[in-house]
Amino acid sequence: MKAVIIGAGEVGYHIAKALYNTHDVVVIDIDEKACERVDELDVQVIQGNGANVSILSGVLVGTDILVATTGSDEVNIVACMASKLIAEDNADFSTVAKVSNPDYIDKPVTKRTKIGIDLMICPELSLASEVADILAIPSAIDFNFFAEGKVEMMEFVVSEDNYLVGKDMKELNLANCCIVSALFRDSDVIIPHGDDTIEANDHLVVIGKSASMDSVRDKFGGKGGKRSKVMIIGGGIVGFYLAKLVAKSEFDLIIIEADPQRSVQIAEELPDVLVLNGDGTDINLLKEEGVEEMDVAIAVTNSDEKNLLCALIAKQLGAKKVIARADRSDYVPLFEMVGVDSAVSPRQATVKEVMKLTMGSAIESIATIEGEKAGIIEYTASKKSKITGKPLKNIKFPAGAIVSIVVHKGNTVVPRGNYVIQEGDRVVVFSLQSANSEVEKLFK
């Protein structure tokens, strides 16, 4: 495929990085330094205004997808609308626009085909939705649904006092329809076997039938039946939308917002939530509001550095789990290295949606793990797929990938070597980024 990316910021750069090995990529940005950074990849770089019709006319010939990711919602929208008009004879041409203004979008992902935008994505709302899912499972640091809710993926951290420390994988005794697909230990990614020993601070990725995952939660310290106490630091787009998502759930919720007017606005719209006007780095304020009793403290201001500081202070004062927003990609592993339980990035949602559009029609859903080190990808097997009709043990699967779960006619199974995937099966695969293209070939 040929992809045109407008905007070489964090989102645009990482989309280009994810695509350039397997697709022709053109990146357009007006900023010289941004162009220099993305020029390190094997892509065509054009310095200029991505909404300029003359520039677009020159690059859209043969283009399959255009993704507008600049910091201006209006530029992204205009670029997509203009591109649709220029490429009107190309029926397979798709456009994606990143927007942040709630006036343009009221949910994480939507379609605006009438105005020439096939997919409109709000990274901030996607991030809030992701954090809300994590909050629903106190012991998890990541969570995703697959196969229309029949399959769940959860990532857990093994705490130092967990009884599983020192035990072998086979001693987990998971239900037959659940499997540990991956183990992240420091910088290593391991596809585990029964004799691998679990260590403190290991990150385990468990995939299984939704109805059977309650027992998995219990092993890693699931919800104890009480209302969870949650503190959100930052009442911007992410903080406010997150509060709206969880306000009516089983949470006692506190929001700390530095701007007085914004605090009043949130309090008026969310009357059941305690809203405080203050600084999330104010130790006395955090102590007064009982941060040591919080099950989760979430820092989602517009400053990565402040989010890190707020999260670490909350952790030091006794918060059980801390989550911090990190817009800069290189901050995600750093945050988790110094003590943040989960660093979440708004750009991942946009990257994920673009990857779904460019990885072929067999892709149903995709989730990235551990800052894009790996992914969980759901495919639908077709009659022509190389993986269909043969025992799994006879298929040359790439190193760094494993079939975790298969949903066949509504039944969820963990496949063994003799299992034969059939046409129409939903296949959930764990894959390192380096193995994605080889796995994709098996489903074409």
- Same domain? For 401 and 303 the reply is no
CATH number at residue 364: 3.30.70.1450
* 292 within a domain of the structure (yes/no): yes
| Chain mean position to CA 405 | 20
130 CB-contact burial (10 Å; exposed 0-12 / middle 13-18 / buried 19+): buried
Q: What is the dihedral of CA 237, 328, 435, 211, to 10 degrees?
A: -30
H/E stretch holding 181: strand 178-185
DSSP string, 67-101: EE--S-HHHHHHHHHHHHHHTTT-TT-EEEEE---
* Separation CA 295–CA 76 (nearest Å): 39
* Separation CA 91–CA 152 (nearest Å): 35
Strands 44-47 and 24-29: parallel
Let me know: does 20 contact 1? Beta carbons within 8 Å: no
* 309 within a domain of the structure (yes/no): yes
What is the count of structural domains for the chain?
A: 3
CATH number at residue 322: 3.40.50.720
* 187 within a domain of the structure (yes/no): no
- Same domain? For 262 and 340 the reply is yes
The whole-model pTM stands at: 0.76
Q: pLDDT tens, position by position, for the chain (444 residues)?
A: 899 999 999 889 988 988 888 889 999 999 999 999 999 998 999 999 999 999 999 999 999 999 999 999 999 999 999 999 999 888 889 999 999 888 888 888 888 888 889 999 998 998 898 888 878 776 677 888 888 788 988 888 887 888 888 999 988 888 778 899 989 888 788 888 889 999 988 889 999 888 888 778 777 765 555 678 999 999 999 999 999 988 877 788 999 999 999 999 999 999 989 999 999 999 999 999 999 999 999 999 999 999 999 999 999 999 999 999 998 877 888 898 898 988 888 877 677 777 777 765 566 677 777 666 788 888 999 988 999 998 999 998 888 888 999 999 888 999 988 999 999 999 999 988 788 888 888 988
Structure-token pair, residue 55: 């520039």
Strand, coil or helix: what is 352?
helix
Query: Of 71, 89, 121, which one is at a domain's C-terminal end?
Result: 121
- Same domain? For 10 and 53 the reply is yes
* 143 within a domain of the structure (yes/no): no
- Same domain? For 236 and 313 the reply is yes
- Same domain? For 337 and 355 the reply is no
Q: Which domain holds residue 90?
A: 2-121
- Same domain? For 262 and 288 the reply is yes
* Separation CA 51–CA 37 (nearest Å): 21
